[in-house]
Amino acid sequence: MLARIRRLAEDERFREVVDVAGGPPQRPGPLDWETESRALVEEVFGSQDSEWTVHIVNLRHIAQDLMPLVLGSLLELYASELFRRGQGGNPETLLVLEEAHHYLRSIGSGEEAKDNALAYERLAKEGRKFGLALWLSTQRPSEVSSTVLSQCGTWACFRLTTEPDLNAVANATEWADRRDIRRIAGLAKRNAILFGSGISMPTLIESKTASPPPRSEDPNFESWAIHPPA
C-alpha cells in the first residue's frame, strides 16, 4: 500500500489534479476528514450557495489508468454528501460525464469489482430523488457498468458496429426492439436513433454539423497514390 501511494505521489499526471503537498485546513484547528470532504464537494459539484451555474471539471491531463481512481473518489465523496444533505437539500444538478467508459467501469474482479463500482451505481439508482440527473456520453457502452446503463431512461444512439456494444444497449433498455438495435449499426454520420421514456416511439434524427467541426475525419490515404510526372 505504501509503495502504491508513493508511486502515485511521484506521478506527474496524478499531481496535475491532486496536490500531494497538501494545504491549510478549511477551518482553524486539526484536519477533519468530513469538513475537508464537504468543502471539496462544494467546490467541484456546487451547493445551494454556489454562485456559478455551469462548472467544467477538466481531467484530460490524467492518464486513463488513473481516471477511475481519481474520478471514482470524487464521485464517492459526492454520493456521500448528496445523501447526507437529504431530499430537498441539494440544488437541481445535471452531471454530464464525458467518455464514461474510461471510469464508469469495474476495477478488479469479483467482490472487489462490485465495491469499486458502488459510487457510480448509487448515484445512478438513487440520485434522482436527491435532485441529480445523469447524462452519460460513451463510445463503448459495453465497458460501462451494466447497472448504470440500466438506469438510463432516454437514449440517443449514434452508430455502433461491434456486437458487445450493440448487446449492451439491447440488454440495458426495454424501449428498443431488435430491429431498432440492428438499425444502429447502419447509421450514417451525424445520424442517431432516439428512444426511451422521453420519446413516444424510436425516432431517427440528424444532428447539425459542429462549429467549429471536430478534427475527426478519416485519414486521406489518397495522398499515398503515386502520380506520374506531367
Residue 114 clears pLDDT 70, i.e. is over it? no
Q: Residue ranges per domain, the chain?
A: 1-17+36-42+55-141, 153-207
Asked if residue 103 has pLDDT above 60, the reply is: yes
Evaluate whether 196 touches 153 at the Cβ level (below 8 Å). yes
CB-based contact 94:139 (threshold 8 Å): no
What are the strands, taking DSSP E only, across 122-174? 132-136, 154-157
pLDDT tens, position by position, 4-18: 778 878 887 778 777
For the segment 195-224, what is each residue's pLDDT rounded down to a tens digit? 888 888 888 999 888 888 877 777 888 878
pLDDT digits (tens, 9 = 90+) for 155-189: 999 999 999 999 999 888 887 788 888 889 889 98
